[in-house]
Structure 1
């Protein structure tokens, strides 16, 4: 009997340190877990694809994202629209033949040129110019939105990888703990019910592990969709998820909103609508058509030439373009209201994103500095107490569950902080590649 008790005690002492050494908190900070080998598994021994950094993902998105390509095409199209807006009316060549034969006939060749009055050409150029500004703002906005999407997807993948690592560590410890409880139950040290509960807990962790693998695959698909390249599925995201970039104070961010792409685009649309009023007003002024030519007259066998000059002015009696002018005026009022509405919406969304950023970063900081160390210490203490027979095995499981839940909350807080950071960049118009690859400032 004494020998059997001694054997059980030695098994417990051997298992507890293994559990303590495999805790997530004992690994270095960062998200590159678990460490990967540079050689891919398989018989060929081929090198695995290079790891994927945030800078790499941004570069791939800049080249492959279809929405960004479409925005660039809009900018190119706006250049053509501006070119066409400055075009002047083409001259017209007219030929008139009176009499087809005989001694009496007249042939007239005439060149007609319309002269635009009322500033129509300049008004069209203004509309096209503001349209180009709107296209450029849309391109910048698409780039800022794409950057926010890539940052969100990339750090979402890092968070999913980190959660998978946490789930794997939890599953390993739960399995070893369940095996230990089962051996103690067979040795008569604990109730079989306690061993059953330990096995049920291990099964639950296995379910969470499967869910974590699914979340990693989903996050990778999202990143591939955002970047526009399925090749990123073959590369493993690497980066430091624990160092959240800092942002300037809210007052400074609000001051940058007038220069944001959304605000610039709304302002350009408002100015373009105002310029359309000038176009419609200019259309109410008739254009003048000047004519000059030569008439060749054959009469009674005698031929002679006559110069022909003329002027044509439409009379605005029925169509004064009043309806189009009224429409343009009200469209300009709507564009002005949309501009004010966009600015108010931007301020509200930026304030909310900043509050979310502050809340998430503070939660991550508190979890890292206070909750995680305390949960780790509690797990170690309960493990030592179980070794000495002062705690039940369920107390160990509860301490393990608390520690891993804290780890999950910490990763979720980091993920929320990066989502808010990306949203702030989208609202203020952070460029797609200007700050890519720059070291993040620790908060």
Structure 2
């Protein structure tokens, strides 16, 4: 008895209009997806990749630094008064072959690639967040289904308890109905926990701190019927999918890497300028006045490493690899759109099947079985079977609505379009 009273209190608290079991904050889909775009921490972190790559452009523009060298020398013959001196020189490497331009072009190409990858990250984030929103709606419906079933079975169990005391039905039937009510209560507890877990994920995607107040989704499952042409979807995906654009840009990055590898094989020149000062030599045998020498020189490195073309070969094969990867991505996009299209068509047909009256028929059967059971015209087992069937039909119905909505999201994710708005 205490167990049933405890649940009654829980039901009153959790599902009455006061709703004090846990604080809820309803949020519309548009507000939710806007907060995901603004506050999602993972997305914010990905944005820094663009800033980092833009900083790489500035780094690529840097010229080689000059090198300053100084020295002091003593001829070491103090007794002979051979004197001392010092030197100073500055050197600078002049890059030839367009190395700096090749570095800048590569950095710019990599920045464009990073931007496409960021767009693709948001494409997937938006779709995943939308499906999570639908999941929260579905979980709430399942809670309501089990709550209503439990309340009906609890009412029947109480009625059976009275009837058993009056001798109208066997005690075993009263115990069975009470057991079924307890089992449903346990299932309800778990379903509520699953629902709350789904709501926690909404907060996570919005970048919100977890608290006692959980954001709940607004119930809409009826605006996801669309008509599409497969060929148009594939064409749109090929023209707009960010990951395909990233694969195409990756080909350009590979070409820029190859150009830089070729430029790096060109010999650079080193310019050197400096002075050397020698002090007055006071040696009595061969006195020498102080001297100042000016030195200007050119250094040419002997690039024996050009005999080893490993870097060039790596860059060349990378371009071939990026070409193959682009073709694979293109085929993958076509396959994803086609698969998502077929799944969406199947989901549409499944939803239409429920619109033929399955829910109403299952409910009518259950009510009829309960009425007959109370009149002693049918058994408890038939009532329980009807109750389970009705529960399964309702759960399948909401699962089908969720699958339909999710299939639309997956199709639009794959096709590179987006018109989810409810």
TM-score band, normalised by the shorter chain?
0.7 to 0.9
Question: How do residues 64-213 of structure 1 correspond to structure 2 at under 5 angstroms?
Answer: 64-95=39-70, 109-213=88-192
The more displaced of 421-430 and 270-279 is 421-430
How far apart are the structure 2 equivalents of 1:63 and 1:73? 14
| Post-superposition offset of 1:390 | 5.3
How far apart are the structure 2 equivalents of 1:252 and 1:305? 80
The more displaced of 57-66 and 77-86 is 57-66
Query: 1:334 — aligned with what?
Result: 321
Check the 8 A contact 2:136/2:217 in 1, yes or no: no
The more displaced of 246-255 and 79-88 is 246-255
| Post-superposition offset of 1:209 | 1.4
| Post-superposition offset of 1:338 | 2.4
Describe the SS at the equivalent of 1:282. helix
Give a deviation string over 1:253-301, Cα, whole Å, max 9, x none: 3223333222222222232122111111111110122334556676766
Check the 8 A contact 2:87/2:277 in 1, yes or no: yes
| 1:419 corresponds to 2:406 | yes
Query: 2:358 — aligned with what?
Result: 371
Question: How do residues 17-416 of structure 1 correspond to structure 2 at under 5 angstroms?
Answer: 34=15, 36-37=17-18, 40=20, 48=23, 50-95=25-70, 109-231=88-210, 234-246=213-225, 248-258=228-238, 259-293=240-274, 308-383=295-370, 391-392=378-379, 394-416=381-403
Highest relative contact order (Cα 8 Å, sep 6+), 1 or 2? Answer: 1
Q: Which structure 1 residue ranges, 5 or more long, are not aligned?
A: 1-32, 43-47
How far apart are the structure 2 equivalents of 1:196 and 1:35? 29
Question: How do residues 421-436 of structure 1 correspond to structure 2 at under 5 angstroms?
Answer: 421-428=408-415
Check the 8 A contact 2:67/2:92 in 1, yes or no: yes
| Post-superposition offset of 1:105 | 6.8
How far apart are the structure 2 equivalents of 1:397 and 1:245? 35
Cα distance change, pair 303–131 in 1 and its aligned pair in 2 (3 A): same
How far apart are the structure 2 equivalents of 1:41 and 1:381? 34
Check the 8 A contact 2:95/2:268 in 1, yes or no: yes
How far apart are the structure 2 equivalents of 1:50 and 1:240? 13
How far apart are the structure 1 equivalents of 2:71 and 2:215? 77
Check the 8 A contact 2:65/2:92 in 1, yes or no: yes
Give a deviation string over 1:171-221, Cα, whole Å, max 9, x none: 001111222334344444444444444333323322321221232233234
Describe the SS at the equivalent of 1:231. coil
Instruction: Give TM-score scaled by structure 1 length.
Output: 0.77
How far apart are the structure 1 equivalents of 2:355 and 2:170? 37
Check the 8 A contact 2:200/2:214 in 1, yes or no: no
Check the 8 A contact 1:223/1:232 in 2, yes or no: no
Cα distance change, pair 393–240 in 1 and its aligned pair in 2 (3 A): same
How far apart are the structure 1 equivalents of 2:24 and 2:370? 41
Describe the SS at the equivalent of 1:439. coil
Instruction: Give TM-score scaled by structure 2 length.
Output: 0.80
| Post-superposition offset of 1:119 | 1.8
Cα distance change, pair 143–86 in 1 and its aligned pair in 2 (3 A): same
Q: Which structure 2 residue ranges, 5 or more long, are not aligned?
A: 1-13, 281-286
Cα distance change, pair 424–106 in 1 and its aligned pair in 2 (3 A): farther
Give a deviation string over 1:138-167, Cα, whole Å, max 9, x none: 222222222222222222122111101110
How far apart are the structure 2 equivalents of 1:35 and 1:73? 46
Supply the RMSD in Å over aligned alpha carbons: 3.4
Give a deviation string over 1:388-412, Cα, whole Å, max 9, x none: 7655554444333322211110111
Check the 8 A contact 1:224/1:232 in 2, yes or no: no
